[in-house]
Structure 1
Amino acid sequence: MESFSLEVEYESVHVLNSDRVKSVDVHPTEPWVLLGLYSGAVCIWNYQTNNVEKSVKISESPVRSAKFMARYNTIVAAADDKFIREYDYVKMQKIIEFEAHEDYIRSLAVHPTLPYVLSAADDNAIKLWSLKKGWACMQTYTGHSHYVMQLALDPKDIGIFATASLDGTLKIWDLDSPTPKFTLDGHLKGVNCVDYFLIGEKQYLLSGSDDYTAKVWDCETKSCIQTLEGHTHNVTALCMHPELPIIVTGSEDGTVKLWDAITYRLLNTLNFGLERVWAIGYKKGSNQLVFGCDKGAIVVNLKASSLNLPSEKQGQKD
């Protein structure tokens, strides 16, 4: 299969200069990005008008994860003060706050269909919360031996999720079981980020690590099939582009790298001048990507040139 090249359309770039951005999430229908800031604030940035439409200081501690819960018109945010908070994003009024973990909360994942939120923290635990039951904790998952840095929900199976940990492993879990189904071990240092992606009908996992690499894992064989090398510092964020067969990785080296998801060839390296990259967000149906960095957030529009798409059948840290 022929490879392809990329260019970034800087004409459609939107930049927000702000405090260090630790988390980004794109609203599914509105031109909004939810930012979780190291300063303890969360804000909703309209990237079309380049205005911050809503902002609230929720903690004196860094907010490391904030997510839209669009079907409820709310946001959920988690901070280093160990609390989870839910806000009505229309009035930006607090609905609930509670102490959820025994240490910094690193990651939240909102279930796409069930009334659940997962949280992961530096107490080495993951917890499942029920919105229908007033944020009651339905399950605690244990098995990691170091901080749990990120969660990712399986897009093909609503009962499965993956975690990345500074113990150097990825673990795959069933929502109904407190112990992991299996462990993926291959990084030389702690793992910061994890995400699922599909090529045709075949499913893979991505992971990024303090060993400066990202890895591609075959979910069926439970094996690493490719290591992506090129970053010169910790890999902190990654994803598969929602519309193009491109793997996107961000790093504390201040760069974003774009990789061919079929051949794994490095296509391009981007440097926005916003220093370390902490988070990546996207919206399905759009070529736009959002990056959260030390000096703010940026929206870019990727355009693929000479593109040969595969057919379906080919398928703390700061």
Structure 2
Amino acid sequence: MVKDDAETAALKTELNELIEKSKEESKKQADCKLAEKCGDMGAVPKCHLSTKKTLKGHINKVNSVHFAGDSRYCVSGSLDGKLIIWDTWTGNKVQVIPLRSSWVMSVAYSVSGNYVACGGMDNMCTIYDVNNRDASGCAKIVRELAGYEGFLSSCRFIDDSHILTGSGDMKLCVWDLEAGKKTSEVAAHGGDVVSLSLSPDGNQFVTGSVDRTCKLWDVRDCKQIQTFFGHTSDVNSVTFHPSGYAFATASEDKTARLFDIRSDQQIGHYEPPNKTSGFTSCALSLSGRMLLCGSDDNNIHIWDTMTAQHNSTLGGHDNRVTSICMAPNGMALVSSSWDQAVRVWV
């Protein structure tokens, strides 16, 4: 046992040395920092988003929220064992879907708006058809995707026939929903796969993990393309830049970052004024100029991605902000929280 512990420690030391070497090599290739290059752009006006609707209906912590492709409807998942589909324009509930397991950790709305998916500590991804209802009036279950050795932490629809999932068993899976079978399964990270985000063209996706790294993948064969280092703790959230050439991250290490795919390195570093709370989720504005992050301090922080200046803070939630999602048209933001509420910001 002592020998095994010594070998493990030696491997960790060697791995950390390789990571540091990789960081140093990346720094040598960077001729300047983004904030320095864009310092003469001037600060953008303060972002004055306010709560347009407070969506109340859950009776326990809300862990995840996601917009449909029409930028009107969103789905939220809560520990009360319910999925709720909301009309964010009116604030009304469209459907309430009871779950077989209340331990939901991730929800996803298909771009078409035809399906929603969820999963969590039940080690399963469940797909619902929102256009067809069973005898009780609830959306029909069309697939239950089992076979995970860990909790389901993240899921996103590639299209109505395929879904991408990340889980606590450190794996990524692509599922064919019509056949109910995996088309790809890969050991993705050295820790739980916590978050994933599809590129605007749908050909690539990026993942974040508790192993402190982010990875870029090809959707078509689930092949790893790049690995990005920089964070010193869990990467809780990732989101693609609208250009498709970069992605943002939010981490437990109390920082958010921007990574450039073409230069294969970090180009932006963002910290909140208080620096006391980790970040749970992130989103980018439609232009990519503003980065928004949900935090453990009950707020949503906003930065100018170009100058790295903290722009403003959105307050309103009474507990930890667990998830945020920007509407595809860029006109609204939704957030979920342990305070049992979902907020629509405009």
TM class by shorter chain equals 0.7 to 0.9
Matched, 1:98 2:145: yes
Taking the aligned partners of 1:50 and 1:265, their CA distance within structure 2 comes to: 33
Taking the aligned partners of 1:118 and 1:126, their CA distance within structure 2 comes to: 7
Taking the aligned partners of 1:26 and 1:115, their CA distance within structure 2 comes to: 18
TM-score for both structures, normalised by structure 2 = 0.79
Q: 1:16 to 1:180 in 2, by over 3 A?
A: same
Which of 174, 181, 206 pairs up with 1:128? Answer: 174
Post-superposition Cα deviations, 1:7-48, rounded to whole Å, max 9, x if no partner, equal 435373434263211111122337322001123321112233
Matched, 1:273 2:317: yes
Taking the aligned partners of 1:161 and 1:71, their CA distance within structure 2 comes to: 19
SS of 2:224 mapped into structure 1 = coil
Look at both structures and tell me which one has the larger radius of gyration over its CA atoms.
Answer: 2
Post-superposition Cα deviations, 1:202-245, rounded to whole Å, max 9, x if no partner, equal 72111111111111111111111121111422211001112562
Matched, 1:259 2:303: yes
- The runs of 5 or more residues in structure 1 that have no matched partner are 302-318
Q: Larger strand proportion, structure 1 or 2?
A: 1
Give 1:186 deviation, angstroms: 1.0
Give 1:100 deviation, angstroms: 3.8
State whether residues 38 and 62 of structure 1, in contact with CA within 8 Å, keep that contact through their aligned partners in structure 2.
yes
Give 1:255 deviation, angstroms: 1.2
C-alpha RMSD of matched pairs (Å): 2.1
Give 1:179 deviation, angstroms: 4.9
Matched, 1:234 2:274: no
- The runs of 5 or more residues in structure 2 that have no matched partner are 1-40, 134-138
What residue in structure 2 maps to residue 81 of structure 1? Answer: 122
SS of 1:6 mapped into structure 2 = coil
State whether residues 116 and 128 of structure 2, in contact with CA within 8 Å, keep that contact through their aligned partners in structure 1.
yes
Q: Equivalences for 1:120-269 in 2 at 5 Å?
A: 120-132=166-178, 134-156=179-201, 158-177=202-221, 179-198=223-242, 203-230=245-272, 231-243=275-287, 245-269=289-313
TM-score for both structures, normalised by structure 1 = 0.86
State whether residues 250 and 282 of structure 2, in contact with CA within 8 Å, keep that contact through their aligned partners in structure 1.
yes
SS of 1:48 mapped into structure 2 = coil
Give 1:79 deviation, angstroms: 2.2
State whether residues 192 and 210 of structure 2, in contact with CA within 8 Å, keep that contact through their aligned partners in structure 1.
yes
Post-superposition Cα deviations, 1:21-77, rounded to whole Å, max 9, x if no partner, equal 111112233732200112332111223332222112213332112222253722121
Q: 1:286 to 1:178 in 2, by over 3 A?
A: closer
Q: Percent identity?
A: 22
Taking the aligned partners of 2:295 and 2:118, their CA distance within structure 1 comes to: 23
What residue in structure 2 maps to residue 65 of structure 1? Answer: 106
How many aligned positions are there? 296
Post-superposition Cα deviations, 1:140-176, rounded to whole Å, max 9, x if no partner, equal 12131111001111224x3321110001101111234
Q: 1:264 to 1:232 in 2, by over 3 A?
A: same
SS of 1:181 mapped into structure 2 = strand
Q: 1:11 to 1:4 in 2, by over 3 A?
A: same
Counterpart AA for 2:319 = E
SS of 2:325 mapped into structure 1 = strand
Range moving further from structure 2, 178-187 or 210-219 = 178-187
Q: 1:7 to 1:69 in 2, by over 3 A?
A: closer
SS of 2:112 mapped into structure 1 = helix
Q: 1:141 to 1:14 in 2, by over 3 A?
A: same
Post-superposition Cα deviations, 1:79-121, rounded to whole Å, max 9, x if no partner, equal 2101111112132122222314111100001115x73210000
Taking the aligned partners of 1:130 and 1:162, their CA distance within structure 2 comes to: 20
Taking the aligned partners of 1:100 and 1:290, their CA distance within structure 2 comes to: 31
State whether residues 146 and 167 of structure 1, in contact with CA within 8 Å, keep that contact through their aligned partners in structure 2.
yes
What residue in structure 2 maps to residue 315 of structure 1? Answer: none
State whether residues 122 and 148 of structure 1, in contact with CA within 8 Å, keep that contact through their aligned partners in structure 2.
yes
State whether residues 164 and 170 of structure 1, in contact with CA within 8 Å, keep that contact through their aligned partners in structure 2.
yes
Q: 1:9 to 1:225 in 2, by over 3 A?
A: closer
What residue in structure 1 maps to residue 165 of structure 2? Answer: 119
Q: 1:129 to 1:202 in 2, by over 3 A?
A: closer
State whether residues 195 and 207 of structure 1, in contact with CA within 8 Å, keep that contact through their aligned partners in structure 2.
yes
Taking the aligned partners of 1:238 and 1:30, their CA distance within structure 2 comes to: 17
